Amino acid sequence: MGSVGHVTRRPLRLWENTKAAYPPAPVPVRPRLSARVSYLLQKVLRPNPVNRRLGALVERWPTARKLFTEAERTSKERLFGCRMCGQCALPVTGYSCPMGCPKELRNGPCGGVGPDGACEVYPEKRCVWVVAYERAASQGAAADLRRLQRPVDHRRWGESSWLNYWQGRDEGLWTGDDLVSPPL
């Protein structure tokens, strides 16, 4: 466990997240960044020649990669309650993290959402998918929620999702929004 005295950090492991209870049970987190700003940020973070180059550079040095991953973890944890699944769905879920759903549902809300939008497992919290729908709809992106999300690869927990995204390793995470039956 990461004790306070250590200056250097070891590679991130799920159980080293000192803020989370052990084991780190998923709990709905309300995004702290407004939908408008989140979608503006999407434009910056979308793969482009600049961040692709940056990503390639960062991946050349293990230390740089660790620092970069830590920066991603810290910022996304504060803003979105990120748990570092390594396969970020935020760009197509209204920047409301589905991994905060107690059932970790990646394809929309379960049937137990309360009439007021409460999570069935944590009634004092709002369902992450209700929040996702409201935020995406407010930015004209509700159709993104129609995309089919492929199953999570549990080997990738703790990886930097930004690096994966920029290097094109995340392209199969979700399908189009046309509701046509896609190959798995």
Partner 1 sequence: MSLRERLAAGEFTVTAELSPPRGASAAPVTARAELLCGWVDAVNITDNQGSHVRLSSWAGALAVRDAGLEPIMQMTCRDRNRIALQSDLLGAASLGLRNVLCMSGDHPKFGDHPGAKPVFDLDSTQLLWTLRTMRDEGTLMSGRELDPPPDIFLGAVENPFAPPEGFRAERAGKKIAAGAQFIQTQYVFDVPLFRRWVAGLGELGLLDRCSVLAGVGVIRSVRALDFMASGRVPGVQIPQDVQRRLRGAGEANVGAEGAKLAAEVIAAVRQIPGVAGVHLLTAGYEKHIPELLGMAGVGRPAGRPATVGKGRGGD
Site residues (vs partner 1, CB under 8 A):
102-117, 120-121, 127, 129-130, 133-134, 137, 142, 145-146, 148-152, 154, 179-184
Nearer to partner 1 (CB atom), residue 31 or residue 55: 31
CB of 154 vs partner 1, minimal distance in Å: 8
By the 10 Å C-beta count (0-12 exposed, 13-18 middle, 19+ buried), 7 is classed as exposed
Q: Please state, in angstroms and rounded to a whole number, the distance separating the CA atoms of residues 57 and 65.
A: 9
Q: How far is the CB of 102 from partner 1 (least distance, A)?
A: 6
Residue 120's identity, in one-letter code, is E
Task: CB nearer to partner 1: give 2 or 112.
Answer: 112
Q: Which letter, b or e, does each residue of 152-174 get, where b requires 16 or more Cβ atoms within 10 Å of its Cβ?
A: beeebbbbbbbbbbbbeebeebb
Residue 48 phi/psi, 5-degree rounding, is: -145, 170
CB-nearer residue toward partner 1: 7 or 180: 180
**Which phi-psi region, left, alpha or beta, contains residue 179 (left: φ > 0; alpha: ψ -120 to 50)?**
left
Q: 5 vs 151, which CB is nearer to partner 1?
A: 151
